[in-house]
Amino acid sequence: AQKVTQAQTEISVVEKEDVTLDCVYETRDTTYYLFWYKQPPSGELVFLIRRNSFDEQNEISGRYSWNFQKSTSSFNFTITASQVVDSAVYFCAHLSWSSASKIIFGSGTRLSIRP
Amino acid sequence: GAVVSQHPSWVICKSGTSVKIECRSLDFQATTMFWYRQFPKQSLMLMATSNEGSKATYEQGVEKDKFLINHASLTLSTLTVTSAHPEDSSFYICSAHNRDSSYEQYFGPGTRLTVT
């Protein structure tokens, strides 16, 4: 069965600091997708990134970057020069071909950016 | 981009009554929709998979007679919470799977249910 672990329950940093959110996944599938979502206080999920299991290239989008390492089953997310608006709950998630497209979420990391 | 709507965005109902939540894919067809429940400060837990034209598949521990799901068309799935109790108060989120893609899923904005 698939499982996603986000060991960091809460993180608090001062604005402009860099912060990395960890994500470790478990799967028996060779073909799968990994996601990161942001959930602000409004509750609506905001899609950040999708990665398929065959693409281990790291990705950068502005202040956001993602490090996918199949060898350690990790898909970590780094925010550079954090801002107060980055405060939210962040979820890592997994979808596999064999799971009938079910997306399984990690427990989430609550990120607080202090001014 | 693909849009999924939910209605209502929030609802308050009295204990013992039933409430229906709609999930619509506005600009694509979804053969499969998913329903999640999220309690405060917790993650999204998958409740059931809704397939157009067939019975929903419920996750272990979810009462199918309490959470009725109907997926009558390729753009609409409904979740009815029957005989609601205060412990059913939660944030309910749906997602719709684009039938033309193996992985594209889009989430609705969620419905906050409060049972008094």
For the segment A34-82, what is each residue's pLDDT rounded down to a tens digit?
999 999 999 999 999 999 999 888 889 999 999 999 999 999 999 999 9
Tally of CB atoms within 10 A around B54: 9
- Contact at CB, B102 and A106, closer than 8 angstroms: no
Tell me the pLDDT tens digit for each residue of B30-58.
889 999 999 999 999 999 999 888 889 99
Per-residue confidence (pLDDT) for residue B115, from 0 to 100: 97
User: Taking CB atoms and an 8 Å cut-off, how many pairs form between chains A and B?
Assistant: 48
Q: How far is CA A100 from CA A53, A81, A96, A97, B33, in A?
A: 17, 38, 7, 6, 11
C-alpha closest to that of A40 among A115, A111, A97 = A111
Q: Using a CB-CB distance cutoff of 8 angstroms, which residues of chain A are in contact with residue B110? A: 43-45
Indicate whether A2 pLDDT > 90: no
C-alpha closest to that of A92 among A11, A10, A35, A8 = A35
Is the model more confident about B97 or about A105?
A105
Chain centroid to Cα A63, Å, comes to 14
Rounded Cα distance, B46 and B59, in Å: 7
Q: Using a CB-CB distance cutoff of 8 angstroms, which residues of chain A are in contact with residue B103? A: 33, 50, 52, 95, 101
**Rounded to 5 degrees, what are φ and ψ at B33?**
-130, 150
% chain A with pLDDT above 70: 100
Per-residue confidence (pLDDT) for residue B102, from 0 to 100: 66
Residue B10 corresponds to which amino acid? Answer: W
Q: Using a CB-CB distance cutoff of 8 angstroms, which residues of chain A are in contact with residue B34? A: 101-103
The pLDDT mean for chain A works out to 94
Interchain contact A23–B (C-beta under 8 A): no
Rounded Cα distance, A5 and A91, in Å: 10
